[in-house]
Amino acid sequence: MQPGQESTASDTTSFSAAGPLPGSSPFSLLPDELIRTIATHLHPPDRFRRASWAGNPAYALDYFASVDKRIRRIALSVRWE
C-alpha cells in the first residue's frame, strides 16, 4: 500500500496510526480468539464483585458487560456454556 492510501481490507489484527474511531471502543479491535481467551480467565461474577479493586467503577462487571455487544456475546458464550 502506498503512503497516503487507505486500506479497504478489514484487517482487525493491525491498528490504524490514528487509533480507534472517536466514540468506539478499542476492545472492538480485538480478534475473537483473544476475547475468548480473556473470557475463560475472568473470575466468576460473585468472586469478581468481592475483589479488592471491584469498588472502582472502571472495573465493575457492568463495565465489562457493556463495553461492546460483540465482546459481551463472545464472552458470555464462552463463560456460561
75 occurs within a structural domain: yes
Report residue 6's pLDDT band, with 50, 70 and 90 as the boundaries.
very low
Residue range 39-63, pLDDT digits in tens: 666 655 555 555 555 555 555 555 5
53 occurs within a structural domain: yes
46 occurs within a structural domain: yes
33: domain range?
A: 26-79
CA distance linking residue 1 with residue 30, whole number of Å: 23
CA distance linking residue 31 with residue 34, whole number of Å: 6
CA distance linking residue 56 with residue 35, whole number of Å: 22
C-alpha cell at position 30: 480485538
13 occurs within a structural domain: no
Provide the number of structural domains found in the chain. 1
Report residue 74's pLDDT band, with 50, 70 and 90 as the boundaries.
confident
